[in-house]
Amino acid sequence: MIQVGIVGGTGYVAGELLRILMYHPNVGIRFVYSHSHAGKRVNSVHEDLFMLAGLTFTDEVILDVDVVFLSLGHGNSTKFLREHTFPAKTKIIDLSNDFRLKEKNSFGTRNFVYGLVEKEAKAIASAENIANPGCFATAIQLGLLPLASEKKLQGDVHVQGITGSTGAGRGLSETSHFSWRNNNVSVYKPFTHQHLDEIKETLLDFQPDFTNEINFVPVRGNFSRGIMITAYTETILSAKALIQLYRDFYADKTFTVVSDSVIHLKQVVNTNYCLLQVQKHGNKAFVVSVIDNLLKGAAGQAVENMNLMFGLAADEGLKLKPNYF
């Protein structure tokens, strides 16, 4: 059994990690760390996990585990690792943005591999530490990787993405209150979103001469979970060649599927899948990408990474049905 610790146990992502790992056939949960909730039952916060009656939060870290998931706010993973030294044999999967960029992908003797499975599966399989990709970054990269892989990104890329309220985390702010989100949408961080840097690094690995802009406009949606992005860019590929490029690129990928039909969020919510639709309009490639921001965009992808690191099938513990109705 893989002995697991979760640090930062009260957020939405940690709740999804627990929901997956409690039924994972190869995992035992050793501890769930939360300084503010130490001694309280985990299901007092994650009420959907009422069946975990015997599991409590702790403010003591068990260092002797096989893997620890850091489900902390951005900047806090680095601080936590300064204060807690895990043995070298303990693998770390970090879900913050602390180690995603190449110039920041190390901490002491630990080097972090960027955990985008569809690009880095081989490196992940031999990695000791993983920087889990961001949610918008995952949806956008999966929508653009096939073009970059064949150096077919020719001009500026225009992306719009809409995300559910769980993407803002559990802590309340003006724009995460129900009364503000209900029947409402708004743009935030246009052209400056924090995930753009990791997106650019990934695309440049495939297409080093890509110097054009990625114009990304994120939108807050009035729903709970999921991300839909639409992206378009100029292409010389025919419609047939464009679709075939995507089918070939993802032919052996477990969790990314190219659809023949119009796609929508309900097809992927509560799953670790990314669903893509590719079309040609005039001289433009048009791509739609949908994921669950808490699963393929966070906890699910983290477990997928763990599976590869320990030599398991990528979908172990992740055979989840969408919440369609």
Question: CA-to-CA distance for 155 and 116, rounded, in angstroms?
Answer: 24
Catalytic annotation present for 135: yes
As given in the structure block, the two tokens for residue 278 are 């590719």
CB 294, CB 136: distance < 8 Å: no
Largest separation between any pair of C-alpha atoms in the chain: 60
Q: How far is CA 82 from CA 34, 63, 77, 86, 119, in A?
A: 17, 14, 9, 10, 30
CB 244, CB 187: distance < 8 Å: no
181: enclosing H helix or E strand: helix 178-181
Sign of CA dihedral 117, 119, 120, 121: positive
Q: Which amino acid is at 208?
A: P
CB 92, CB 306: distance < 8 Å: no
32, 113, 135, 290: which is the annotated catalytic residue? Answer: 135
CB 68, CB 128: distance < 8 Å: no
CA atoms within 13 A on the CB side of 23: 11
**Burial class, 172, CB count within 10 angstroms (exposed 0-12 / middle 13-18 / buried 19+):** exposed
Active site residues per annotation: 135
